[in-house]
């Protein structure tokens, strides 16, 4: 049987985990699923953390997008989806950031200055998750 001390120990470790770096609701849930807690206590901790804004998928998505401006929308969407972020939160975060074409143009200009051929620039952009349209349009003057 799980003791009250175990709950307090897990609670302390859980909040330390959340304070180290931003995490998604799914990541927090996965952390708690590895602990010896019943579902009621897991949900209690998740609710407490959410009420304290320590878990906020919308804010996480916005921070992630802002921190990955050299990635295209496809790669950002994939990464956020794999972390449990909803399509709506991903869309909102992308809508609030610099548009994909502007990001692709900035990268293209930098790579052009380094002497890269257009074909290589397009391939680099595609490998970073930019759309074909953004990759090709980024090379237009």
Write the pLDDT tens digit of every residue in 2-47: 445 589 999 999 999 999 989 999 999 999 999 988 999 999 999 9
> Which pLDDT value is given to residue 2?
46
Report the sign of the C-alpha dihedral through residues 52, 55, 57, 61, in that order. positive
pTM of this structure: 0.87
Q: What is the pLDDT of residue 5?
A: 59
CA distance linking residue 82 with residue 80, whole number of Å: 5
Q: How confident is the model at residue 1 (pLDDT cuts 50, 70, 90)?
A: very low
Q: What is the reported pLDDT for 141? A: 65
Whether the pLDDT of residue 137 is over 70: the answer is yes
Say how far apart CA 47 and CA 25 lie, in whole Å: 10
């Amino acid at each position: 049987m799980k003791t009250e001390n175990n709950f307090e120990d897990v609670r302390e470790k859980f909040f330390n985990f959340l304070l180290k770096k931003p995490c998604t609701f799914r990541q927090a849930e996965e952390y708690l699923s590895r602990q010896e807690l019943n579902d009621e206590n897991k949900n209690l901790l998740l609710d407490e953390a959410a009420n304290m804004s320590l878990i906020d998928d919308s804010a996480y998505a916005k921070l992630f997008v802002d921190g990955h401006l050299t990635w295209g929308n496809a790669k950002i969407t994939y990464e956020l989806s794999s972390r449990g972020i909803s399509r709506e939160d991903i869309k909102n975060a992308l809508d609030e950031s610099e548009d994909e074409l502007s990001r692709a143009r900035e990268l293209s200009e930098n790579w052009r200055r380094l002497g890269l051929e257009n074909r290589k620039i397009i391939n680099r952009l595609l490998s970073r998750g930019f759309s074909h349209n953004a990759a090709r349009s980024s090379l237009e003057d």
